C-alpha cells in the first residue's frame, strides 16, 4: 500500500532540523504541501525547504510559547492555503538538571521553559488548528512525545512530565474531538539520532544508551517520520488516542 498525501496541507512545528525535518521530507515525498514552522533558525528552515520535493511548501516563523504568534501563524496558513489537514506538534526541548546543584530560582525557570515549549505551546496551537479543522470538516493531529513519559527521566524530570502531559492531552482530545472527525495520535520515541542527542550519544553514556535496545542502536529520525506518516494516513481513524512506541524494545509496556 502506498501512502500519499496529495493536496493535503501539513503544518509541522520545529521543522527546521532533526525529526521535524525528516517528517517534512517524507510528507513532501508523498505529495503533501508542507509548512514548516521554525523559531529562530531561519537558515536551517530554508535548507529544509530547499530539500522538499514538490511545490507549494513554505516556512513560517513562530515561537510556539507565544500565544499571539501561534494565533497569527494559524491565521496566515489558513489565509494562504485555506485549510490545515494535518498538524504535527514536534517542536520540543530536552534539558537536564541536577537538583543537588540547582537554586530554586533556576529550578522554576527550567520547569517554566520546558512545560511552555513541550506542553502549553502544543495545546495552544492545537486549539487554533482545531478551530480551523472544525470548519474544514476534520483532520489529524500527531504529537511527538517520548519514552521518557513512561520510563522516568531522573536527569530531566520536567521533560518526562511535559511529555507525559502531552500523551494525556492527546488522549483527552481524541475523546473530545472525534465527533468532529479530528483524530489524535502520540508518537513516543526513545533516543533518536538528532542534534538534540548528539552530545549525549557521543559521550561516555552513548554505548549504554545504545545497549538499552536489543538492536544495540538508537532510532533514526526517518523511522519516527515513517510512523508519523502511517498514523496520518487514511484508515487509522479508529486508532485515535493511541500512543505508539518507537524505542527498539528498550522499554516495553503492556
d(CA 2, CA 39): 33
Contact between 93 and 114 under an 8 Å Cβ cutoff? The reply is: yes
As to burial, measured by CB atoms within 10 angstroms (0-12 exposed, 13-18 middle, 19+ buried), residue 73 is buried
Residue 251 annotated among the catalytic residues of the structure: no
Site map for ligand NAD, 75-94, x if CB under 6 A? ---------------xxxxx
Q: Which is nearer to ligand NAD, 136 or 171 (CB)?
A: 171
Q: Which is nearer to ligand NAD, 31 or 206 (CB)?
A: 206
Residues near ligand NAD (CB under 6 A), total: 28
Burial call 2-40: b when 16+ CB within 10 Å, e when fewer = ebebeebbbbbbbbbbbbbbbbbbbbbbbebbbbbbbbe
Kindly state the smallest distance separating residue 216's Cβ from ligand NAD, in Å. Answer: 16
Q: Which residues, 6 or more positions from 178, have their beta carbon under 8 angstroms from its beta carbon?
A: 240
Binding flag, residue 114, ligand NAD (CB under 6 A) = no
Kindly state the smallest distance separating residue 64's Cβ from ligand NAD, in Å. Answer: 4
Q: Which is nearer to ligand NAD, 64 or 74 (CB)?
A: 64
Q: Edge to edge, what strands does the sheet with 9-12 contain?
A: 58-61, 33-38, 9-12, 86-89, 139-144, 182-189, 242-246
Binding flag, residue 117, ligand NAD (CB under 6 A) = yes
Taking CB under 6 A as the criterion, the residue among 47, 97, 178, 196 binding ligand NAD is 196
> DSSP 3-state assignment of 115?
helix
Q: Which is nearer to ligand NAD, 135 or 203 (CB)?
A: 203
Taking CB under 6 A as the criterion, the residue among 28, 49, 64, 177 binding ligand NAD is 64
Q: Which is nearer to ligand NAD, 20 or 157 (CB)?
A: 20
Binding flag, residue 185, ligand NAD (CB under 6 A) = no
Q: Which residues, 6 or more positions from 11, have their beta carbon under 8 angstroms from its beta carbon?
A: 35, 37, 77, 84, 86, 87, 88, 129
Taking CB under 6 A as the criterion, the residue among 65, 212, 227, 228 binding ligand NAD is 65
Contact between 59 and 35 under an 8 Å Cβ cutoff? The reply is: yes
Site map for ligand NAD, 132-171, x if CB under 6 A? ------------x-x-------------------------
d(CA 162, CA 67): 18
Binding site for ligand NAD (CB under 6 A): 13-14, 16-20, 37, 39, 41, 63-65, 90-94, 117, 144, 146, 189, 191-192, 194-197
Which residues form the catalytic set? 159
Amino acid at each position: 500500500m502506498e501512502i500519499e498525501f496529495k493536496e493535503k496541507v501539513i503544518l509541522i512545528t520545529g521543522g527546521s532540523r532533526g525529526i521535524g525535518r525528516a517528517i517534512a521530507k517524507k510528507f513532501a515525498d508523498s505529495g503533501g504541501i508542507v509548512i514548516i514552522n521554525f523559531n529562530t533558525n531561519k537558515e536551517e528552515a530554508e535548507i529544509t525547504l530547499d530539500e522538499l520535493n514538490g511545490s507549494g511548501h513554505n516556512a513560517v516563523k513562530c515561537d510556539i510559547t507565544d500565544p499571539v504568534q501561534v494565533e497569527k501563524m494559524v491565521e496566515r496558513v489558513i489565509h494562504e492555503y485555506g485549510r490545515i489537514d494535518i498538524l504535527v506538534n514536534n517542536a520540543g526541548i530536552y534539558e537536564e538538571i541536577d537538583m543537588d546543584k540547582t537554586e530554586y530560582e533556576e529550578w522554576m525557570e527550567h520547569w517554566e521553559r520546558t512545560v511552555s515549549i513541550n506542553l502549553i505551546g502544543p495545546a495552544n496551537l492545537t486549539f487554533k488548528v482545531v478551530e480551523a479543522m472544525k470548519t474544514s470538516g476534520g483532520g489529524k493531529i500527531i504529537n511527538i512525545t517520548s519514552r521518557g513519559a513512561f520510563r522516568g527521566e531522573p536527569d530531566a524530570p520536567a521533560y518526562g512530565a511535559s511529555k507525559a502531559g502531552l500523551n494525556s492531552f492527546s488522549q483527552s482530545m481524541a475523546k473530545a474531538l472525534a465527533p468532529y472527525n479530528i483524530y489524535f495520535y502520540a508518537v513516543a520515541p526513545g533516543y533518536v539520532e538528532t542534534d538534540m542527542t548528539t552530545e549525549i550519544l557521543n559521550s561516555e553514556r552513548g554505548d549504554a544508551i545504545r545497549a538499552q535496545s536489543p538492536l544495540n542502536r538508537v532510532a533514526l529520525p526517518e523511522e519516527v517520520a515513517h510512523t508519523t506518516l502511517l498514523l496520518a494516513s487514511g484508515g487509522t481513524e479508529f486508532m485515535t488516542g493511541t500512543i505508539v512506541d518507537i524505542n527498539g524494545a528498550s522499554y516495553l509496556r503492556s
